[in-house]
Structures are given as structure tokens and as C-alpha cells.
Amino acid sequence: MPSNAADASAASADAPSRPPRGRYAPSPTGLLHVGNARTALAAWLSVRSRGGTFILRIEDIDRPRAVPGMAEAAVEDLAWLGLDWDEDPFKGGPFGPYTQSQRTEHYERALQILHEEGRLFPCRLSRKELAGIASAPHAGEEGPPYPASARPSQVAAGWYETLQRQKSPDAAIRFRVHDRPVRFVDRVHGSIEENVTDTVGDFVLKRRDGLYAYQLAVVVDDWLMEVDEVVRGADLLSSTARQIQLIEALGAPRPEYAHVPLVVAEDGARLSKRDGALTLRALRERGVRPEEVVGWMASSLGLLDRPARCTAAGLLNAFAWPRIPSSSSVASKELVPTF
């Protein structure tokens, strides 16, 4: 790993001497909707209200699902909303590249560390069984836990090197989890405890078609980009214990976590990037002002009493994690503020 990574673990033991680093990390699978934007706003407010550095990372690790032009659209829409950032794929920065598909050498080095720690094993389950590994999982999308009984009791010496050399690998690579509770405190949801053995079991880090798992990529990127605060949607709360196991196995520092409640549609369903009417782009094209959208987001996050027009920067003083409710908010298709 680069020397900055090794230094990061040492530095985290001391009082932080540098401004905090936070990030927003969209997958470029569609246009950003108000739920994505609300998470981005919270991430931005949290780090900017403390004078920190904000990173925009594009998570296109699930290459088949990435839609051309969506990274550029995210940049444009977040800027329209009034957010700014210091490092991104287009302007670069000290820890680039900021696009996951260009970071495979880092994922390989992390796999090598985990292999040397004896935490990996080959898995020959079908492609169907391994589908969806590269995408950030959404609540309820994961199947039953991988049974510890399915672990190979022995692996052939040199399996890893042989597999990595194969042109068409005949196995995926799985991470052997420890059977013990992981505990962490989420800034919105409080104390969480999860034993990954019971919930997910040994999970895949690299599919046999060469795609890296979201869980691996996000942990490696946050580590090497020296991110101290992970802010993302609440649908990823259930990924955190897995990521902490990886962080510990890699010897990386653990960031703080805040999982922002989801915005749901009027029928209670999770908004998807296909909910066209609630994308920032659609609102903007209908003539809605960014201050109106920010006002709605701020009031639904408990930062304003009612949805009054305001800028993102105008919320910096009001921002505090304890104000943010842990329950979802409903966005109407007619999200045209009523003031």
C-alpha cells in the first residue's frame, strides 16, 4: 500500500491535526434523485461545517451498470444544488484517481494483504449465485448467509497465485469473516452490533469475471483517500459491519459512520434513480430553484422548521447530526415547495 496508507493508521491514534475529510460517492447508474442529493447535502454539511475537505468519488466498480455521462451529470447537478468539493475525477487531487474503475491496482494490493493474512479462499459457486456482488446492496437484497460449513477445509498451496494468473478464472475470491460481534456507533442510528457470520457469512471480494466487490472497493478507497467520515444512505447500514471486518484485516483506521435515512416515494417504495420526476435534473427543468430543493431537504432532515428557501451554505450553522431523524422522509412527485 502507498506510504500515506501506513501513516494514516498511525495518525488516527493521535488527536486529528488536519481538517476532517468526507466524501460523497455516487454510483453513476442514473441521474441523482432528491434522496441521493439529501445524503450528499448531509455529507457536505458535516464536513464543511468543520472546515474539512470534501471529495466526490465516482463508484463505477459495477461496470456493466454504469451509464455513460452520469458522472458528469452528478457533478453538474450537485454544483447546481450549491455543493462544492475539493477533489474529484475531473479536477483530480492528491489521492486520485477518483473513479473506481481506474483503481484496480489498489484493490489488487489489498487482496494481496488479505491473502497473506490467510483470510481469502476460492469459491466456485455459479455466476447467478454471485450476481450483484459489485453493486452497493440495498436493504433486503441479499440472500441467506454463506454457511461456514461451505468453507473449504483445505486450500491447495499456491491457489491464489494460480487463480490470479488464469485468463478465465474458475473461482471467485471470498473473505473469511471472524465469528464475533462488530460494534460501531452510527451518528444517526446510534449503537449497532452485528455478527457478520450470522447475517452474511464469508463474502465475495472478487468475482470470477474479475469484478471487485463494492465492499472491497469502498473500504480501500476510503482508506487510501484518508476519509475519516463515511456518510451514505441508510440502505448501506447493513454493509458497515462487513466493511469494518475488512478494515481491521487490512490494518486500516476505522472512519466514523453516518447513514442518512432514505427518501421514499409516496407509496412508501424506495426511490430509485429511475424515479424520473424526483431527479434533480427533472426538478431543475421544471423551473424549481435549488434553494427550494435545499429548503425541502433541510426541513425533512430536521435542520429547518419548515421548507423555507435557503442555500446549502446557509445551513452550515444549523447543521448537527443529533437533529437528523432516523426515519425515512416521503417525497411527493409534486415536489414543488409550498411557500
Interface positions with ligand GLU (CB under 6 A)? 25-27, 59, 136, 218, 232, 236
Nearer to ligand GLU among residue 8 and residue 310 (C-beta): 8
Q: Report residue 101 as a C-alpha cell.
A: 474503475
CB of 123 vs ligand GLU, minimal distance in Å: 23
Parallel, antiparallel or unpaired: strands 263-264 and 172-175: unpaired
Nearer to ligand GLU among residue 159 and residue 321 (C-beta): 321
3-class DSSP state for residue 161? helix
Nearer to ligand GLU among residue 233 and residue 290 (C-beta): 233
Active-site residue, from 91, 167, 206, 273: 273
Q: Where do the DSSP E strands lie in 133-255? A: 172-175, 182-186, 190-194, 203-206, 229-233
Nearer to ligand GLU among residue 123 and residue 279 (C-beta): 279
Nearest position to ligand GLU, beta carbon = 232
Nearer to ligand GLU among residue 39 and residue 329 (C-beta): 39
CB of 242 vs ligand GLU, minimal distance in Å: 11
CB of 239 vs ligand GLU, minimal distance in Å: 7
Q: To which H or E segment does residue 108 belong?
A: helix 104-116
* Whether the Cβ atoms of residue 176 and residue 121 lie closer than 8 Å to each other: yes
Residue with cell 452490533: 193
CB of 208 vs ligand GLU, minimal distance in Å: 23
CB of 14 vs ligand GLU, minimal distance in Å: 26
Residues 6+ apart with CB under 8 A from 283: 34, 293, 335
Q: To which H or E segment does residue 44 belong?
A: helix 34-48
Q: Report residue 169 as a C-alpha cell.
A: 478464472
Half-sphere exposure of 29 (CA within 13 A, CB side): 18
Whether 273 is catalytic: yes
Residues with a known catalytic role: 273
